[in-house]
Structures are given as structure tokens and as C-alpha cells.
Amino acid sequence: MSQSRQSPEAPHAGAEPRGLDRATVGGAVATVDGVTVTALEPADPGNGGAGQSPAAGEDGRAEQAPATLPATAAETSADAPWPLRVLSQKLKTYIDRAPFAWVEGQVIELNRRANVTYLTLRDTDAEVSFSVAVLGRVLDQMPVPLERGARVVAQLKADFWMKTGRLSMQTRDIRPVGLGDLLARIERLRQALGAEGLFAPERKRPLPRLPHRIGLITGRNSDAEKDVLRNAALRWPAVQFEIREVAVQGVTAVAQVSAALRELDEHPDVDVIVIARGGGSLEDLLPFSNEDLVRAVSAARTPVVSAIGHEADRPILDDVADLRASTPTDAAKRIVPDVAEELARIGQARQVLDRAVRSLLHRETDRLAGLRSRPVMLRPETMLTARTEDVERMRHRARRATEIAVHRATDRIAHLRAQMRSLSPQNTLDRGYAVVQLADGAVVRSSTQTRPDDRVRIRVAAGEIGARVFAVREPDEGPPPMSSPSPKYDPGEPDE
């Protein structure tokens, strides 16, 4: 198991404290008893301008400022400065117009005197503090005595002492913030963030099955850190951590946890981030219900696991995180798998796979044996013999069908030949008829086609006869008498 640690660096000496530690009241700036203030012109048109603002003299009476003084702080210079009393009066006038304000803080110093108690209130989420004066009668109205470390709300008003330039806070009312008030405030914030959809299930990102590197945000040398590292290493010895040790309670917790979250979220190797803290009181766990931290977790791209306190503790961080672990030990068990369980699962999977393969082999072996036991597989030539007989039978049938078709076609051809011969001119000539043709080859169909002395060709069944026309008888004259002798015919020399 590898670890990478980084602790927050201490603030630089002389660094300006964070928070609203400046009172902006105008253009001129002065530091009075460690308090930086800026002077503004009082918005009182009846003063006749800044140059005529009253200033307190040594006897307490108001003195009229010379008319030659600059009208505003921005017009002052090294050659035309304001008297200190003018700046003091302007600050006094401006601060006196400020109304009472309710603030919340934690009492870190408590100094009781005769009839006045001096407190130092510190912001609950930042390194910002202020001195507050409380009259005895105001403290007497509290239901329980005020103690150091108490969380209170107070109604304050700034008071500026002109002679010494001191700025103090006068308290009109102060009230303790009980657990009921804190719980009610947390629930109101929880409902408001839930209405925005920050706790919606569809926003939850799944954790990786086996993270490459785990980001851990926890307290320095805390039991929560040891529980997470020890239980994660027991479950998966090769696990790697990127650790950020921060303050997990107090005024700097929110800022340090948020900064560590942003840094780990940008780390390319971190697959999941765990925010772990051991149990504590409600006040100790308040940073993990801070709205800024909750929104930072919601905006993170890397899955976040919340492991704050015990099972009964329920900060708002548990609702916005992608996974809520009841304790740091539970977080370690849920972010990495158990190597023994994984090996057992691998063994079981191998057994199941082995049984499946063996069962498949047995089934296929039995199937092959069944196929081989069939007659067609024992004597495969029988299938070829049967097919050979079928082929021979089909060949014989095809041959007979072909012969029959040829005989039928031969008979039909002979019949057609006889028909053609009976209708041919040659057959007519064989019966004793002849065909007479003119010299140009035209067939003589009528006696009118010829004239005496025309040469004609007479085609008989075998050969031709050349002849000359001696007489032409019209068709309507009838045949010549049988007793009349026929004229002699001298064909002469044939033309051809």
C-alpha cells in the first residue's frame, strides 16, 4: 500500500486575515488601534460640506473646521491635508449612522470586569475575529452563563472613540445558539439544497470496482485515517492512497477540506475521494454541513464517499456524497473489494466454467457416439449403393423416354413427308400432267397467253420438251373434234 501525504501549509506571517476585516467608509484610509477604516463624508447636507464639519476640541466643544480645508477625502493631499480631528469626526459621524446588526460567532476570549465584559468573537468558518463589549445587565438576561467556546448570536453596533481612535462593538443583546437552533438551521439548509436537486439519485456516480488510487481527506494522525488505511490494506494490500491531512473541525476546516477536495478532484490518478472524520459533538461536525463544502462536493467530477462520525451522525455531506459510509471503517470496506472474497469468487467461477466445459464435452461425445452408431455411419457405402441404383434406374428411364420420343418424331416426319409429296407438283407430273412455260419462264395458265409461232417449253415428269404454238383456241370454242387430224409439230431447234 502506497501513500502520498500533503498537509496544509501555515499562513504566511503578516498575511492579511481573511473575512470582512475592513470597514469601507470613504476615500481616506487610516489604521486605528489595529483596525483599518476609511473615511466618508457624512451624508448631511446641513453641515455645509466637509470643510465645515464640526470637530471635537480639547474641551469637548465642537469646533468649526476652516473653510479652506478640502471638501472630501479624495481632495486631500500632502499640501492640503485634513486635521486629524476632521477625519475622526467624519468617521464618528459615519459610524454612528450604521444600524445594529445581528451576527453569529464563537466566544474565544472572555474577560469579566466590574460592569462590562469584554469578549472576542470569531467567525465560525473563517479566521475573522472582533472585540465586543457587553454590559453586565445584558449578560444577566442570558438563560445560562456565557462560557468560552460558546456559539452565540449578538446584536452589535460599532462605536468609534474620537480621542483615541478606537473602534469597539457595543452589544445590545446576546443569545446562545443551542443544539436545537443548530439542528433547525441544518434541516432548513438540507431542505433548501434538496429542493435544488443536489441530493437527487440520478446525480450519484457509481464507485469504480477497483480504484487505481484513492484520495483521502482526513485529520492529521487521526484515528479515522488509521482505520481507513488499515482496513483498506487488509482487504486489498495493493491499494494506493493520496492523503491530504487537513483540519476537520474549527474555523479553518471548511476552507482546508474544500481546497483538498479541489486538488484531489483534479488529480488524474485519483478514482475516488473519501472524506473521513471520527465521531464528535454536533458543533465539531458543523463544518460538514456547511453550504460551501456541500456545493463543492456536488460540483466534484470524482465520486466522493462521506465517512463522517458514527452511524447516528448525519451531516449534510452524507446526503450530497455519492456514497455514505456509516464510519471510516465502513468506508474502507466499501471502496475496495476483499481480496479473499475476490479470489474465492474467481475459484468458484473457474469451477463453474470447468463444470460447464466438462458437461459440454460429455454431451458432444455422447452425440458423436450416437451418430456413429447409426447404420448409415457404420456402412456409409450403403447410402452410395442406393443412390447408384437410383441413378441407373433414372438413366434407363431417360434412355427409353428419349427413344420413344425419337420414334414418334420419325413417324411424324415420314407422315409429313408423304403429305408433302402428295401435294408436290412432281407428283402431279408423275401422273401424266405437264407444265407449259413461255420463253421467259412464265407458266401458261390460259391459251390467251400465247400466240401462234410462240416457242414454249413443256415440262413433264422426266425432262422438258421444246414446242411451237401453231394454233390458239379460245376457251369458249370448246375442244376440237376428235376426228380432225392434229397438225404436225416441228419443234425445230430448241432455243437452249
In a domain, 490, yes or no: no
307 and 256, same domain (yes or no): yes
Q: Of 157, 177, 197, which residue is a domain's last?
A: 177
Give backbone dihedrals phi and psi of 30, rounded to 5 degrees, phi first: -140, 150
Any domain includes 412: no
Per-residue pLDDT band at 62 (split at 50, 70, 90)? very low
312 and 452 in a single domain? The answer is: no
Of 254, 269, 290, nearest in space to 214 by CA: 269
Determine the pLDDT at residue 17.
34
Residue 296 cell numbers, joined: 463543492
Residue 423 resides in a domain: no
Burial class (CB in 10 A: 0-12, 13-18, 19+), 358: exposed
CA-based nearest residue to 172, from 102, 268, 240: 102
Strands 240-245 and 2-6: parallel
Residues 197 and 257 placed together within one structural domain of the fold = yes
Contacts of 317-320 spanning 24+ positions with Cβ under 8 A = 317/275, 317/288, 317/289, 317/293, 319/190, 319/193, 319/194, 319/198, 319/199, 320/193, 320/198, 320/199, 320/294
- The answer as to whether 52 is a domain residue is yes
Residue 453 lies in a domain: yes
Burial of 442 (0-12, 13-18, 19+ CB in 10 A): exposed
Query: 121 forms bridges with which residues in the sheet?
Result: 107, 130
What is residue 167's three-state secondary structure? strand
Q: Give the pLDDT mean for 469-479.
A: 75
Q: Which string of b and e fits 206-225 if b means at least 16 CB within 10 Å?
A: ebeeebebbbbbbbeebebb
Summary mean pLDDT of the chain: 80
* Cα–Cα distance for residue pair 317/102, rounded to 1 Å: 27
Distance CA 246, CA 222 (A): 10
Q: Which of 59-68, 85-94, 354-363, 420-429 has the highest mean pLDDT?
A: 354-363
β-strand partners of 116 = 135
Segment 165-187 shows an average pLDDT of: 83
Out of 14-23, 41-50, 406-415, the most confident range is 406-415
Torsion of CA 7, 256, 325, 2, to 10 degrees: -20
The residue out of 135, 150, 177 marking a domain boundary is 177
Same domain? 236 vs 201: yes
| Kind of pairing between the strands at 214-218 and 272-277 | parallel
Asked if the model's pLDDT at residue 200 lies above 70, the reply is yes
- Residue 191 lies inside a defined structural domain of this protein: yes
pLDDT at 55 over 80: no
pTM: 0.50
Q: What is the pLDDT of residues 113-132, one digit of tens each?
A: 888 888 888 887 777 888 88
Number of domains comprising the chain: 4
Q: Write out the residue range of the structural domain in which residue 49 sits.
A: 28-96
- Measured CA to CA, the distance from residue 159 to residue 167 in angstroms comes to 6
pLDDT of amino acid 40: 36
Query: Which domain CATH number covers 149?
Result: 2.40.50.140
List, for residues 291-308, the tens digit of each pLDDT value.
999 999 999 999 999 999
Q: What is the mean pLDDT of residues 5-30?
A: 40
Q: What is the CATH number of the domain that holds 250?
A: 3.40.50.261
The grid cell for 152 is 452565540
- Residue 24 — very low, low, confident or very high, per pLDDT cuts 50/70/90? very low
**Residue 489 scores a pLDDT above 50:** no
Q: Verify that 330 and 202 share a domain, yes or no.
A: yes
Mean pLDDT of 149-154: 84
Same domain? For 224 and 307 the reply is yes
Has residue 136 got a pLDDT over 80? yes
Indicate whether 305 and 249 sit together in one domain: yes
Q: Are residues 107 and 127 in the same domain?
A: yes
Q: How confident is the model at residue 350 (pLDDT cuts 50, 70, 90)?
A: very high
CB under 8 Å to 120, separation ≥6 — which residues?
A: 107, 108, 109, 129, 130, 131, 132
* DSSP, residue by residue, 424-491: SHHHHHHTT--EEE-TTS-B--SGGG--TT-EEEEE-SSSEEEEE------GGG-PPPTTSPPPP---
- Band of pLDDT at residue 337, cut at 50, 70 and 90: very high
How far lies 204's CA from each of 127, 209, 318, 321, in Å? 33, 15, 12, 7
Residues 228-249: pLDDT tens digits? 999 999 999 989 999 999 999 8
Query: What pLDDT, on a 0 to 100 scale, did the predictor assign at position 439?
Result: 84
Q: Does one domain contain both 90 and 105? A: no
Residue 135 belongs to a domain: yes
Residue finishing a domain among 128, 150, 177:
177
> Within this chain, do residues 69 and 86 fall inside the same structural domain, yes or no?
yes
Tell me how far apart the alpha carbons of residues 135 and 118 are, in angstroms, rounded to a whole number: 9
Q: Is 459 a domain residue?
A: yes
pLDDT score of 408 more than 80: yes
Tell me the one-letter amino acid at 320.
V
Is 172 found in the same domain as 189? no
Amino acid residing at 455: R
Q: What's the rounded Cα separation, in Å, for the pair 234 and 240?
A: 12
Indicate if 84 and 149 belong to the same structural domain. no
Assess contact for 217 and 274: CB atoms under 8 A: yes
